[in-house]
Homo-oligomer: A and B are copies of this chain.
């Protein structure tokens, strides 16, 4: 829905809440599409949210809670009675229900689970981390058998009366529940009703085991254009299905985390304007302090060259420019390499190739910028020795930044550290310290200080 319309609805909703008309507010919410219900609800204050939630139908509450950020949900449901919670969780998709139960206190989760219509649908999902295939999958799927006909399969779907759109791929299992094929609803509908599933199914089905990371699931589904991905245990027994809508959410969420880490902060884990000032600060200060301590080494390097600085004050004029350019060049490299690793353009085995690529790019960029720096220094009236120092430093610093910028993400990935943590600010800080050392060492040699 268009933003201005939602804003108008929000105004009406706030007015209803102000005059304590909870039933009126609930009916305004009930008239919206599920994702818009969540948006409007999220814009309300904490107190209004708590007052309104018990007034909504369990279906609406379930839709809203499925869309809100985890941290907000945990705060909201803390106030609800176990009975209300049971009614809401009964309306949720099994994978979302499992996520919510995972956020409750263990005894409360157990009480809610015991009261559900079908606890066995949710219980197995609780065993897996939220960010694994097991945590992402739903247990709400229909498995077919090879000896069924297309007509049998369609009859089974009619009887099941699924409410989700997760039925577009149907997975075929053998007598022991092992995954042996996939057939799409399109194929079932198009096929002659008497056709055996065994003859139309594709036996070469792509699947993941429960422990596989959600990013890998997203990569597979995006690479193979899949709408659903079957999840199996170590015996190849089908235990769940990951659907495309969950994977789209994963892609958006992971991109947000990557970009926040790129800026040198820990991921916020909740939507921005709902994050308190203290929360945002907490997510940033540790990085800022760490980088501050590292960057303090620049002071140590400068003190080390105090005599040179006192003799030629003009040396200090170029300090921010040189380390800034090195940092920029390093950031360009890390961001390229990290993304190439993430989308699979570069694999770890290609590490040396990427390093060699960046070394050559660094040399060319460094040479070009070195000439530019030399000219800039000369036109500023610096001595020829100082100008040459600036030029050679630019060449060296950019070459070095490109090598460092490709090496660090590769090493981080090898050590199974998220490579985004060595990007952006970390990169500039490292180049600050090492770049200064390069500059003054070259000054000593070239200017004979």
Contacts and interface: CB of A to CB of B under 8 A. Distances in A.
Contacts of A285: 365, 368
A328 B426 CA distance: 9
B186 A273 contact: no
Contacts of A225: 35, 165, 245, 248
A346 B272 CA distance: 7
A325 B245 contact: no
Nearest to A168: B168
A90 interface: no
A2 to B, nearest CB: 11
A302 B281 contact: no
A354 B272 contact: yes
A20 to B, nearest CB: 26
Contact of A222 (B249, B327, B345, B349): B249
A185 to B, nearest CB: 6
A203 interface: no
Interface in A28-50: 33, 35
B288 A256 contact: no
Interface stretch (A117-125, A260-268, A441-449): A260-268
Contact of A436 (B313, B320, B325, B343): B320
Interface string A160-176: 01100101100000000
B425 A331 contact: yes
Q: Which residue, A327, A332, A361, has most C-beta atoms of chain B within 10 A? A: A332
B227 A331 contact: no
Nearest to A291: B328
A346 to B, nearest CB: 6
Contacts of A360: 277
A265 B338 CA distance: 14
Given A167-B186, A190-B161, A339-B260, A255 B244 contact: no
A432 B324 contact: yes
A287 interface: yes
Contact of A428 (B288, B324, B368): B324
A296 interface: yes
A295 interface: yes
B227 A277 contact: no
A318 interface: yes
B365 A288 contact: yes
A350 B271 CA distance: 13
A384 interface: no
Contacts of A278: 364
Interface in A313-352: 313, 316-321, 323-325, 327-329, 331-340, 343, 345-347, 349-350
A158 interface: yes
Contacts of A165: 168, 184, 186, 225, 227
7 contacts: A221-B248, A260-B336, A277-B361, A277-B364, A280-B336, A288-B329, A289-B372
